[in-house]
């Protein structure tokens, strides 16, 4: 009886170890940056605004800067390209919104916002383009309440969310996604 319990425990432990060992590669933390190792300072000059939407460029510039600070593995951020190892240039090309859900009176209650941008990341030390996407598209939505007593304009918070999502995706690509494998080049 005692031997059967020990064998059962041993078999359970063995199965647990086999299952856990198969998944160890899935949970490795990301420790390398996708940027070349010499990039320590990133400049994020103010984005250009071709959409002619008030303050949209400052929201996106600020969101990208904050996200690099938050997730950039010790990268320094500055606004001026002089002295930076890499530069993130951005342009907000268009901003549109349209009603996607109507209330019982036929008025738009939920709006979809689409922002199209262009982003180029340049390595100033080696004078080359690290990343270029001239058709960055981001979508989000915001909703107006049907009760005028509790009306709150959701457009501004929606733009903040879209700018934050844009920045999260860009910085994720910047620090993890497009990296040059310097070991292979040698």
> pLDDT per position in the chain (186 positions), as tens?
566 667 667 666 556 555 555 544 444 444 445 678 899 999 999 999 999 888 889 999 999 999 999 988 888 999 999 999 999 999 999 988 887 777 777 777 787 888 899 999 999 999 999 999 999 888 877 776 666 565 556 667 777 888 998 899 888 887 776 544 443 343
Q: CATH number of the domain at 131, please.
A: 3.40.50.10610
Structure tokens at 44: 């994020």
Residue 122 maps to a domain: yes
Structural domain includes residue 18: no
Q: Note whether residue 79 is domain-resident.
A: yes
Six-digit token string for 165: 């999502």
Q: What pTM value is reported for the model?
A: 0.70
Q: Give the three-state DSSP class for 73.
A: coil
In a domain, 77, yes or no: yes
Nearest Cα neighbor of 112 from 159, 48, 74 is 159
Specify the number of domains making up the chain.
Answer: 1
């Amino acid at each position: 009886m005692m031997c059967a319990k020990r064998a059962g425990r041993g078999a359970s432990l063995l199965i647990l170890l086999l299952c856990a060992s198969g998944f160890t590669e899935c949970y490795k933390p990301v420790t390398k940056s996708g940027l070349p190792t010499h990039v320590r300072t990133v400049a994020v000059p103010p984005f250009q605004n071709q959409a002619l939407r008030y303050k949209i460029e400052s929201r996106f510039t600020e969101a990208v800067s904050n996200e690099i600070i938050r997730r950039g593995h010790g990268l320094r951020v500055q606004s001026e390209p002089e002295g930076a190892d890499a530069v993130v240039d951005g342009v907000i090309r268009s901003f549109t919104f349209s009603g996607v859900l109507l209330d019982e009176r036929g008025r738009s209650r939920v709006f979809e916002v689409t922002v199209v941008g262009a982003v180029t990341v340049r390595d100033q030390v080696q004078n080359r383009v690290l990343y270029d996407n001239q058709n960055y598209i981001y979508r989000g939505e915001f909703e107006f309440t049907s009760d005028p007593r509790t009306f709150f304009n959701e457009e501004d918070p929606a733009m903040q969310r879209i700018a934050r999502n844009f920045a999260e995706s860009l910085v994720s690509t910047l620090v993890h996604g497009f990296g040059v494998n310097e070991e292979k080049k040698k």
